[in-house]
Amino acid sequence: MKDANRLACAAVLTLALSACSNTGIDVATPATDPTTGQSQPTSTSAPVEQPHDPIIVEGAFGIGLSTLSELAEFGTVFIGTVTSEEDGDDGSVTDPYVHDRQLRRLVTIRVDRVLAGDDALRVVTTRTLGWHIETDGERQEMVQDGKPWLSVGDKVLFAAAPEPGTSYHYTAGADGAFVFRDGTLQAPPGGHISPILKRLQGLSEEEIARAIEEAAK
Give the pLDDT score at 63: 52
Residue 170 pLDDT grade (very low, low, confident, very high; cuts 50, 70, 90) = very low
- 169 pLDDT above the threshold of 80: no
Give the pLDDT score at 150: 84
Q: What is the pLDDT of residues 23-41, one digit of tens each?
A: 333 333 344 444 445 444 4
- 22 pLDDT above the threshold of 70: no
- Is the alpha carbon torsion for 118, 205, 175, 1 positive or negative? negative
Exposure letters 27-66 (e unless 16+ CB within 10 A, then b): eeeeeeeeeeeeeeeeeeeeeeeeeeeebebebbeebebe
- 205 pLDDT above the threshold of 50: yes
Domain ranges of the chain: 5-18+47-215
What predicted TM-score, i.e. pTM, was given to this entire model? 0.66
Give the pLDDT score at 210: 94
- 60 pLDDT above the threshold of 50: no
Say how far apart CA 135 and CA 91 lie, in whole Å. Answer: 15
Average model confidence (pLDDT) across the chain: 69
